[in-house]
A and B are shown apart, each in its own frame.
Chain A
């Protein structure tokens, strides 16, 4: 169900913990599975449970607890706009509105072409760069309508930050 590369990566994570603590590798295994498959289906969660030798319920409860796991398919680029206090004070609502208008989607929705999902998230720990957002592995700060348009163009042009 997962590629050799992903399995090797999970094995490397597994090796960080004592022999009797396979469960410690669970968060990493779910991240790696999601990176490969785009989201966490029931099937891949059960596969991870078998891989680590733990009950599937332990996998579900972790997958539903943490905010970085997607249990449904999302767009190729997840735009996670920070809406916590420092970003709010610096106009994060206008950032969200601009993106919503440009993409024609509301919060939590994905564009028809499957390219973008728009989300508002809580504090990402980059408050001095407010307003900011995360796309894939990268943070983008001091956002303006112009810099957002440039970012969207870059991502539409095939820049691959996510998977």
Chain B
């Protein structure tokens, strides 16, 4: 199914060819359909050919696959951190707590390609010597939960999971764990706390999960899309995957393009695709609208001005050079019909709501940011408020255990830098520049 397609206004390219390659097939979530397209061939190759665990890890390293959950950490390197020769259980976890506003890709992988995720996890477990694993799915994802549970049953029935997989001495048990509603559980150590039946509050690091993870045992955790990329890397080789993208930015990436576009959706494209081509794939802007700003990696990443974004390519390095981050590939398109102050006020509310309350700068600071944004939006802003927001932001950043607070500061600070005149208009005129039709 890898599709070479020509989109209007864009080049012919490899689209939806890796983690979503079966999405268009009927019943793509069924094992029979997945197996019919070569599914579980990578698992057979590593177990029966066989490939040594070190060979698998070096293939993943060669592919330049980086964590697709947002941090972009090299996957092969992460896998190599798992200690060898320890006695007792090692765990492999999948982060399917997808909650970053603008992100909706893991849900589709689980709905359409659950076996690709499962196969990727089994290969990872074999490479790292893990004997048990959990797929942590956010509790609201009831439909994906049922689909993944059904896929696990099928995989057990076929002998791909459980004791002595494919007749080898490798055994691996895999379960679904349902979250209960908390964005912070997407943070890897908060996720482990939740899995242990506690409040999802991040742990101080070090120790890192590879030495002290779930139940204090060596643990590796990866995102859904990361695991789902593994089977094809094993089948087709690390070089194949790397060459789909560009150096240091290997492979394809799903971009969830949402907001003010005509065809919002998940587009899996080669890393390094020009942003303007991605925008064209998503149907472009609505008639008569202009691109005002883009949040390229989910709301925890800095806003980029629309004009600047038109020169960016969709990969870690280029977006970072533009002052933001690729994050989870959640591209939020904002056109000139909306007020930036109101938009950022809404984003700030999210972080206030989702702060876990553990670190004071975050627990208090996210509320401060929202309250000041709220009064600005409601015509009660004061002259000193912009400096106040920047000061509060600078006193939060880098002073908390996890990255949630930094993510809450980024949209506020970046939007003041880009759209200061809109903020000032709110303060001086006690009303919005946009709804008054001035812009």
Contacts and interface: CB of A to CB of B under 8 A. Distances in A.
Interface of A: 16, 18, 21-28, 30-31, 54, 58, 61-62, 65-69, 83-86, 88-90, 122-130, 134, 136-139
A56 to B, nearest CB: 13
Nearest to B175: A16
A125 B99 contact: yes
B139 interface: yes
Interface in B149-176: 175
B183 A122 contact: yes
B100 A67 contact: no
Given A58-B197, A123-B183, 9 more contacts: A83-B349, A85-B343, A89-B334, A90-B259, A122-B101, A122-B349, A125-B140, A127-B258, A134-B140
Contact of A28 (B101, B178, B260): B178
Nearest to A126: B104
B265 interface: yes
Contact of B104 (A18, A24, A127): A127
Interface residues of B, number: 55
Contact of A126 (B107, B196, B338, B350): B107
The residue among A22, A23, A68 with the most chain B CB atoms within 10 A of its own CB is A68
A112 B354 CA distance: 31
Interface in B166-217: 175, 177-183, 194-200, 215
Contacts of B338: 89
B330 interface: yes
Interface in B297-356: 299, 330, 332, 334, 338, 343, 346-347, 349-350, 353-354, 356
Contacts of B330: 127
Interface string B74-106: 000000000000000100000000111111101
A18 B139 CA distance: 22
Top 5 nearest A-B pairs (CB, nearest first) are A23-B197, A67-B181, A66-B180, A68-B181, A26-B197
A134 B140 CA distance: 8
B258 A128 contact: yes
B233 to A, nearest CB: 26
Contacts of B350: 84-85, 122-123
A127 B199 contact: no
Given A30-B180, A89-B338, A123 B197 contact: no
Contact of A122 (B142, B178, B180, B353): B353
Given A123-B100, A127-B264, A138 B143 contact: yes
A138 B144 CA distance: 11
B266 interface: yes
A16 B175 CA distance: 7
Given A24-B197, A122-B354, A68 B102 contact: no
A127 to B, nearest CB: 4
A157 to B, nearest CB: 22
11 contacts: A18-B215, A31-B178, A61-B198, A66-B200, A85-B101, A122-B354, A123-B350, A125-B98, A125-B107, A125-B140, A127-B101
B197 A86 contact: no
Nearest to A88: B346
A85 B197 contact: no
B223 interface: no
Contacts of A130: 258-259, 264
Contacts of A84: 101, 299, 346-347, 350
